[in-house]
């Protein structure tokens, strides 16, 4: 074998030495190989402060395992090597190394693609070449050489026989080092408590102060000795099975004692856990929530934002049958059948299915076909859906039903029914068969409010009777409270007298305008294809007239 460059070095880091030598000669480290000329072993025990050169037979010393462990022996090695630049190596191994969990029994995995010219050499020669190559690999990876290697040599002899019989056609494992395994009385265990919720939830919500993960630390009997020359004890292995990913200290607190290590949520939110990161966030981002996951959160007021984004427009972002509750929900896609959404703030950029239900305080929906209950709604297209709200703004309507106190619509086509108590404002009605009606009794929320006030008044009247007998000083306060509640009821009942329906552009067909009085009487007007001034009631001594028409009813 022709060597273009050679040089001797004494080093404990072979890779760094070769890289430096290659750089000095304007070459790549891959062009160089090395031979181990000598190995110096240094030892440190409990009685020594630093490593000292061990000149005796190290194999005799380490044969007594108990002695090694009792004296807390540590070993390091220094190599005298000859680095050489050569055109071609005799043996080129393709391999990987499995170091094992505690590094006591690393094995090399030889691939059949390795270049071993066994047909040109005798078995003994190939054995020596392979042994030399394995020791080189061990030295480069800081695995002790010429120590705890009897099993390696025996397996290598078997491999050589295997090689010459032509059976090296699959990967082969050969132990590189047979260290002293640690005796474990109790194995370490990572208890993923938050994942126990995953059986019923697609995403996992946790509360502040909730234990997310417990790492149960191992309890050791005898110590061990690994391939790097280190004693394995509690300090070495106590966190071996612990989390390897980044843990966000702003959202997760770590509490540790001798027995275990606990990861505890600092905030309420959703768990984000993968190989790289572990944190809690009040924003949940996912592509799709499926129907097999029946719930995500329990309360609307939970300071949690859910973002569901489905890139495939043919699929529902929120699947059939899903129940989702959170403070803020943003769905960038469609909402499936039989699904239920509850939130303070709700945004749906797709369409709601006709058999879906949404409940929120503030809502924005692109296309609405389902059933909505809210305080304030902004809908781009009402497409046959149902809306119960206080205030509603609709850009375009292709039919549906709206129950609200105040309703504003940009463009109405046909088959829309609006039941309001205060106002209906429409820019354009281009179709027919629409109903615009002022009547608080048609609005379930106002009926409920009226009935609730009635019950409150009855309770206060009962207290007033007692106050008249026992605590006269409370009478004025109770009477004032009753009067205020009656005023609220009066505003609900007689709101029709101040209500107004406004249609800005000329109507193009037959539509119905209706005002219902407190006593249940109705004034109805069928529109023509023309422009109308705002519709509202004018009350005189004998009649109530629907302006700007002549329709009237007697008092």
Residues 265-282: tens digit of each pLDDT: 998 878 888 888 998 887
Is the pLDDT score of 296 beyond 60? no
pLDDT computed for residue 313 by the predictor: 45
For 526, the token pair is 């069928």
Nearest to 546 by CA among 513, 508, 505: 513
The H-assigned helical ranges of 471-513 are 475-493
Distances (CA, A) of 296 to 200, 305, 343: 9, 11, 12
pLDDT digits (tens, 9 = 90+) for 103-133: 999 999 999 999 999 999 999 999 999 999 9
Average pLDDT over residues 32-59: 88
pLDDT computed for residue 285 by the predictor: 56
First CA to last CA across the chain, in angstroms?
A: 121
Is the pLDDT score of 237 beyond 80? no
Phi-psi region of 333 (alpha: psi -120 to 50; beta: other; left: phi over 0): left
- E strand intervals along 384-527: 386-388, 391-397, 400-412, 416-429, 435-438, 500-503, 512-516, 522-526
Backbone angles phi, psi at 244, to 5 degrees: -105, -10
Q: How far apart are the C-alpha atoms of 443 and 445, rounded to whole Å?
A: 6
Residue 198: band (very low, low, confident or very high) from pLDDT cuts 50, 70, 90: low
436 vs 203, higher pLDDT: 436
Is the pLDDT score of 294 beyond 90? no
Task: Report the percentage of the chain scoring pLDDT > 90.
Answer: 58
Which DSSP string corresponds to 297-347? -S-S-S--EEEEE-S-TTSEEE-TT-EEE-SEEEEESEE-TT-EEE-SEEE
pLDDT computed for residue 391 by the predictor: 96
Eight-class DSSP state of 227: T
Contacts of 436 (CB under 8 A, 6+ apart): 418, 420, 424, 426, 501, 511, 512, 513, 514
pLDDT computed for residue 56 by the predictor: 80
Is the pLDDT score of 293 beyond 60? no
pLDDT computed for residue 235 by the predictor: 59
pLDDT digits (tens, 9 = 90+) for 146-163: 999 999 999 999 999 999
Which DSSP string corresponds to 153-208? HHHHHHHHHHHHTT---S-EEEES---BPPPEEE--EEEEGGGGGGGT-SS-EE-T
Residue 291: band (very low, low, confident or very high) from pLDDT cuts 50, 70, 90: very low
Cis geometry, peptide bond prior to residue 548 (ω within 30 degrees of 0): yes
3-state SS class at 352: strand
Binning the chain into helix, strand and coil, the percentages to the nearest 5 are 25, 40, 40
For 65, the token pair is 């395992």
Is the pLDDT score of 311 beyond 60? no
Residue 101: band (very low, low, confident or very high) from pLDDT cuts 50, 70, 90: confident
**Rg, C-alpha atoms of the chain:** 41
Average pLDDT over residues 314-325: 57
């Amino acid at each position: 074998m022709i060597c273009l460059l050679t040089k001797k070095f004494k080093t404990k880091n072979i890779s760094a030495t070769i890289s430096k030598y290659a750089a000095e000669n304007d070459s790549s480290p891959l062009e160089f190989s090395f031979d181990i000329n000598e190995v110096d072993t240094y030892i440190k025990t409990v009685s020594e402060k630093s490593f000292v050169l061990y000149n005796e037979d190290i194999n005799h010393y380490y044969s007594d395992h108990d002695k090694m462990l009792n004296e807390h022996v540590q070993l390091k090695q220094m190599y005298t090597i000859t680095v050489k630049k050569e055109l071609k190596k005799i043996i080129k191994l393709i391999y990987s190394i499995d170091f094992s969990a505690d590094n006591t029994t690393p094995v090399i995995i030889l691939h059949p693609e390795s270049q071993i010219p066994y047909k040109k050499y005798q078995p003994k020669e190939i054995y020596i070449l392979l042994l030399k190559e394995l020791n080189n690999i061990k030295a480069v990876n800081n695995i002790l050489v010429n120590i705890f290697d009897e099993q390696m040599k025996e397996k290598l002899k078997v491999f050589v026989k295997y090689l010459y019989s032509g059976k090296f056609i699959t990967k082969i494992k050969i132990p590189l080092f047979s260290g002293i395994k640690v005796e474990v009385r109790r194995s370490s265990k990572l208890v993923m408590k938050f994942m126990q919720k995953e059986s019923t939830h697609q995403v996992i919500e946790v509360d502040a102060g909730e234990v997310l993960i417990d790492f149960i630390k191992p309890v050791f009997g005898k110590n061990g000795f690994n391939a790097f020359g280190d004693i394995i004890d509690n300090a070495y292995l106590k966190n071996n099975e612990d989390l390897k990913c980044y843990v966000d200290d702003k959202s997760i607190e770590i509490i540790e004692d001798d027995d275990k290590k606990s990861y505890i949520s600092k905030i309420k939110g959703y768990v984000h856990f993968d190989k790289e990161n572990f944190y809690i966030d009040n924003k949940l981002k996912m592509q799709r929530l499926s129907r097999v996951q029946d719930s995500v959160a329990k309360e609307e007021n939970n300071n949690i934002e859910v973002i569901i984004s489905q890139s495939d427009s043919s699929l529902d972002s929120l699947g059939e049958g899903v129940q989702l509750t959170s403070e803020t929900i943003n769905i960038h896609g469609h909402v499936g059948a039989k699904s239920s959404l509850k939130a303070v703030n709700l945004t749906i950029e797709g369409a709601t299915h006709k058999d879906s239900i949404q409940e929120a305080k503030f809502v924005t929906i692109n296309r609405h076909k389902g059933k909505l209950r809210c305080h304030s709604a902004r809908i781009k297209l009402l497409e046959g859906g149902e809306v119960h709200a206080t205030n509603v703004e609709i850009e375009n309507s292709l039919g549906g039903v709206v129950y609200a106190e105040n309703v504003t619509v940009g463009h109405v086509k046909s088959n829309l029914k609006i039941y309001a108590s205060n106002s209906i404002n429409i820019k354009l009605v281009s179709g027919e068969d629409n109903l615009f009606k002022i009547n608080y009794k048609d609005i379930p929320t106002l009926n409920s409010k009226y009935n609730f006030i009635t019950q409150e008044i009855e309770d206060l009247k009962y207290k007033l009777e007692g106050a008249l007998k026992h605590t006269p000083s409370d009478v004025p306060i109770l009477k004032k409270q009753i009067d205020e509640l009656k005023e609220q009821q009066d505003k609900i009942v007689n709101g029709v007298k101040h209500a107004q329906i406004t249609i800005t552009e000329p109507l193009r067909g037959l539509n119905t305008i209706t005002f219902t009085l407190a006593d249940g009487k109705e004034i109805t007007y069928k529109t023509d294809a023309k422009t109308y001034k705002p519709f509202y009631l004018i009350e005189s001594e004998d009649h109530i007239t629907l302006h700007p028409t002549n329709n009237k009813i007697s008092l």
